Chain A
C-alpha cells in the first residue's frame, strides 16, 4: 500500500462544544459560517438585539402617544376625573416598568454581543498581524461594556481567539487569573496568564501560548484576591499548530 494515497481527515477548528454562556450569545468565533451566512457569526445576534431595542423603543413611545391621545380625548369630553388619573398612572407605570425591564435586558444582551464581536475582531487582528493591530501586538477589547475595558496582550505564533468576561471591579481591584485548563485532562494547562491593573488605563490581560500547546479550548477563572470571589472568566481557543494551519484544507 502506498501511504501517500491514504486519506487523512481534515484538521478541525475545534473538537469540543462551547458551553460557556458568555461566549454563546455571539456564536463561536473562528468556526465556519453556515452556508448563506455573511459576515461574522455574531452579526445576526447584533442585528437582532438592535432590532429588538428599536422595537421596544417604539413601543414605549407608542405608549406615551396613545396615553396622551386618550387623556386628551377624555379631557375634551370632560369625563377625566381623579379616579381616571389614578388608574391611568398605575396602568402606565406597570407597563413602563415592564418595558423598561425588557429594554434593560435587551441592552445587556446588546452589550454582550457587541463586546464579543469587538473582542473577536481585535484578537484576530492581533494574532494574525493584520492591519489594525498595534505594533507591539496588543489590542483593546471591551467585552462587557466600558466598565470592563481590558487591554489584551497575547504572545503566540498560533491562531488564537480570546474571550473575556469580567465584572467591572475586576479592572480596578487586585485579581488573579488562574491557569486555563482544557476539558481534556491530558492537555497541559495554560499557565502563563496574568491580569494586572494599569494605572491610568484599562487592566492588562496577558496570555502566552507556547508553540507546542495542543489545539483546543482552554478556560479559567478570574478571582478577586481580597474577597475570594469569582469576578470573570477567560476562554482561549487555540487552533492547530503553525504547520497544520498552513495546510488546512478548503471545506467542500
Chain B
C-alpha cells in the first residue's frame, strides 16, 4: 500500500461519534508531536459528547447519567489520557472545583456483593481491597509485561491466602504447625525436590490438615512458575488432590461456621480456574485467554470441577451483573465468554493500581468529556453537533483500479438542527464553577429552536428522524480518512454497503451482540443509615432483578446545585429485556414505552425489594416510603417518583456491548487494513480487551489513531499485548 496525498496538505480526519473511543482517537491524532498533520472534525448526534458515558445537568443542577459508571484501577490507558488531558487543561483550582485529575477521581476500595443465605435472606459481603503501589496511568516499570506464568503464580498465592484465612476463621480446625513459614517447608526448589514434596503430601496424607494444604499450595506455586518442567498430569493430579482435601476439610465446617461458605466458594472457583488453565493449556496457548472464549464462564468452571453452588454464588453473579452479561437482557440467560471473564478478573484483581475502584466526583460528562472537549477545541478540533450519520458509502468496486483497496467515498448525515448565524454550537453550561453538559440542548442557539423544543424533538433517539437538512461529505474534498466511532448496535443502520460486501462485517454484527440497559437515580430526604443501611458508600452487585447493581452516590451531592441539598443519592442499573418492537424504526412511540417500563420496574423494585437492604424504607409490606424522595413539585405517593431520573438505554448506539461465548473471534480490529481510509473505534472492536468498558473503548481509540498515523506505538497501549 502507498500513502499518497498532496504534500503540505493536512490529512482531514472525520471522527463519527463522541464517546470514549472517539475522544481517545482525536486526542492521539492531535498531539503536538504530529505538528498539525491531522485536521480532526468530530461529528456528533445531538448536543453532547459522551456516547454511553454521556451525562447531563437537570433541575437544580443535578447530575443525570445514562447509568452507573465506575472506573477501575486497571484502566491504565483511560487514566493516562485523562491525566494528560487535565494537565494540558491547566484549570485554576481556585475557580474550578475539579481542576486536576485527583479532584476528578477518588479511590473507592470497598466492594460489595449481595447474596442469599441458606434462610433466603439477603446479606451483603463487603470487602476492602487494599491500596496498591502506584496510580493508574503512571508510567509502568521498564519492561513490564503480564504473563500467564505470573498470573498463575499469583492465583496460587491467592489460594494460599484464602486457606490461611480459613485457618484464621477456624483456628480449632488445624494444628499449630499452620503458623510455620510455608516457604520454609518446601525445602529446595529443584524439579526433583518439588516432585518429592508432592509425593510426600500425597503419601502421608499431609493434605488432610489445613496446615498441609497451605504448604501444599506453596509447592503448587513453585510448580506453576515452571509448569513446562512438569508433566501436565502431575500438576493436575496434585491440584485435584489439594482441592479434594480442601473441599472435605472445609465443607465439614460450613455448618459450624457459615462465614466460611463464601471463602470456600471463592476457593472452589480458584481451584477450578487453575485446573482449567492447565487442562485447557491456556498457560502456553498462543491465543492466551481467548483459547477458552468458546465457553460460557460458568460452564467452563463447572467443566473444571467447580461446584454448582459456587458458580451460583454472589461473587460470580456480580461478575455477570457488572458486565450486563445477560443475552437479550434476559436474567435467565447469563452468558459471558470464559476467556474474556478470566482476563478481566486477573486484570481487575492483580493489576489494579492505587485502588480497585475509582469514583468520579461529578457526572462522567463533566469529569471526562468536558475536559476533553475543551482541550481538543484548543488543539483545533472542530465539533459538528446535531449530525446524525445515515450512510457510509463505499466506492463502487467497478471504479477501483487493479490492486486498489476499497474505500469510503462519502458520509451522508442528517443535520438535526442548524445553529443561528452558522456559528459553532456552544455546548457547555457552568454549574458551581464546573463546565458541564446540560441534559437538554440549548434551544436558544438553534434555528427554529422554539419550535423544536415545543415539538419535543428527541435528538438522541434512534426513532426520531426529524431533521433540518441533509449533508454529504465527500472523500478528499471533506475528509481523507474516517474513524467510525459509533456503537456497534448502530452499524446495521448506517453501514449497509459494508455489510453487503464484506462477510466479516456481517459476521461481526451477527455475533457481537448488545443489550439494552435501564437505570434510575433517586434523591433522598434522609441518609441511608436512617433506612438501616449501615455500610460506608460502596458499589454493590449481585442483588435481585430487575436492578441487580446499585451504588451509594451521596458524594456527588455537593457538586449539584440544590438550594437545600438532599441527604442521600443512590443509583441503580441492570439490563433491560429486549423487545421485538425495537427493530421497527418507524415506531416512534417505542422509546417512550420503554421508559415507561423502566419507571414501572423501578417503582415495583422500590416497593418490593429494596427493603431487603434498607429495612426502614418500607412503610408497610410491599410499600416504599415515597415521602423519602426529594420532590420539588410536591406530588404524593408513588407519583413522587416522576421527579426522579430514569432512563431506558435502547437506542442502538446506547446499547451495551456484550462478550458472548464464541463471539470474540468475529471482532474486527481498528488495525484491520481492508479499507484504505476507514478505521473503527469502540469497545466492540478487537482491541485487546473484549469488554464493554471505558478502558476497552480508549484502547480502541488509540489503536484507531495508530492505524491512521502509526502513533501511539502499539507497545504504548498498555495491556494490548496480553495473554
**What is A's interface to B at a CB cutoff of 8 Å?**
1-22, 24-25, 27-28, 31-35, 41, 44-45, 47-48, 90, 93-94, 97-98, 100-101, 104-105, 108, 165, 167, 183, 185-186, 219-220, 229-230, 233, 235, 240, 244, 247, 249, 251-252
Contact = CB atoms under 8 A, between A and B. Distances in A.
Q: Secondary structure of the B side of the interface? A: loop
Residue among B33, B286, B722 having the largest count of chain A Cβ atoms under 10 Å: B286
A6 B475 contact: yes
Contact of B713 (A19, A33, A101): A33
B399 to A, nearest CB: 8
A251 B147 contact: no
B676 A6 contact: yes
B383 to A, nearest CB: 22
Contact of A6 (B34, B288, B480): B480
B528 to A, nearest CB: 43
A12 B706 contact: yes
B286 A20 contact: yes
B720 A17 contact: yes
A101 B686 contact: no
A35 to B, nearest CB: 8
B481 A9 contact: yes
Contacts, number: 189
B671 A14 contact: yes
Contacts of B474: 1
Interface in B668-703: 669, 671-673, 676-677, 679, 686, 688
B183 A24 contact: no
A34 B142 contact: no
Chain B interface size, as a band, is 35 or more
A94 B184 contact: yes
Contacts of B709: 10, 251-252
The 9 A-B residue pairs with the shortest CB-CB distance, nearest first, are A19-B288, A219-B286, A7-B480, A45-B143, A15-B671, A94-B184, A251-B710, A44-B143, A21-B147
B714 A21 contact: no
B713 A105 contact: no
B476 A5 contact: yes
B2 A230 contact: no
Interface in B97-135: none
- Residue of B226, B481, B714 with highest tally of chain A CB at under 10 A: B714
Contact of B715 (A9, A34, A94): A34
13 contacts: A5-B5, A5-B6, A5-B476, A6-B5, A16-B686, A19-B723, A28-B714, A45-B143, A94-B181, A98-B183, A229-B231, A252-B34, A252-B37
A102 to B, nearest CB: 10
B482 to A, nearest CB: 10
A19 B722 contact: yes
A104 B222 CA distance: 11
B446 to A, nearest CB: 33
A45 B143 CA distance: 5
Contacts of A2: 476
B196 interface: no
Contacts of B407: 6
Nearest to A25: B145
A222 to B, nearest CB: 11
B184 A93 contact: yes
A17 B722 contact: yes
Interface in B253-293: 281, 283-290
B82 interface: no
Contacts of B37: 252
Given A32-B710, A94-B184, A252-B711, A7 B286 contact: no
Contacts of A98: 183
Given A4-B4, A44-B142, A94-B184, A15 B149 contact: no
A84 to B, nearest CB: 18
B686 to A, nearest CB: 7
A28 B715 contact: yes
Nearest to B479: A7
A6 B715 contact: no
Nearest to A104: B189
Contacts of A5: 4-6, 476
B146 A24 contact: yes
B186 interface: yes
Contacts of A25: 143, 145, 147
